[in-house]
Amino acid sequence: MGLRINDTIPDLTVETDQGSISLHDFVGDSWAILFSHPKDFTPVCTTEFGAVAQLADEWAKRGTKVIGVSVDGVEDHKKWKADIEKVAGAKAGFPIIADTGLEVSKAFDMLPAEAYLPDGRTPADSATVRSVFIIGPDKQLKLSMTYPMTVGRNFAEVLRALDGLQMSIGKGVATPANWNVGEDVIIPPSVSNEDAKVKFGEFKTVLPYLRTTAAPK
């Protein structure tokens, strides 16, 4: 059975370019994002890691730690970071897991249990290691998204999704399509009109089951 929304992530101890890390200790009381890559020194992934590096202040603003994972080794990760920082024009201060044994890739259901890395492998051998996982302070998986190797991930959407999660989980509301910070949110159907009035003040009834209100502060 693969990892599903609201499952607790496995507490693996992993090797990174910054030393050994326990995933649960790494998350701690913060939000965390784990983003995965099928191989070091690949063009799309290099631009993606660069985008993550450029967003360091945005992650910090949201109380969120980021950690990468690639199926190459620690020494390759250290060398790759020089390329990442050259592309990004920013320091890549986050750790990168060396998942050479595929333990993380399998535990997070990105590869089947029988997967292995053949000699002379190419990125195609681990092509499905292309997911983003957003993890809450409770160590539970809150959101995942997977991209093919040919499509660079949209980290503005990762930030938007993180904002939506922090709003919905922290404030007891939901967010509509294309929601951004500062826009109206949705009152869950489980909240009665009377309770909604007390909790949120004014709200708009679009449909009996769709009510919107200003985002809570």
Residue 209 buriedness (CB in 10 A; 0-12 / 13-18 / 19+) = exposed
Q: For residues 103 and 73, is the Cβ–Cβ distance under 8 A?
A: no
User: Which one-letter DSSP state was computed for residue 154?
Assistant: -
Annotated catalytic residue 45: yes
Which three-class secondary structure string do you get for 89-118?
Answer: CCCCCCCEEECCCCHHHHHCCCCCCCCCCC
Q: Is the dihedral of CA 165, 171, 177, 179 positive or negative?
A: negative
Distances in Å between the Cα of 98 and the Cα atoms of 72, 83, 158, 195, 212 are 6, 17, 23, 50, 45
Q: Out of 45, 52, 71, 111, which one is annotated catalytic?
A: 45
Catalytic residue IDs:
45
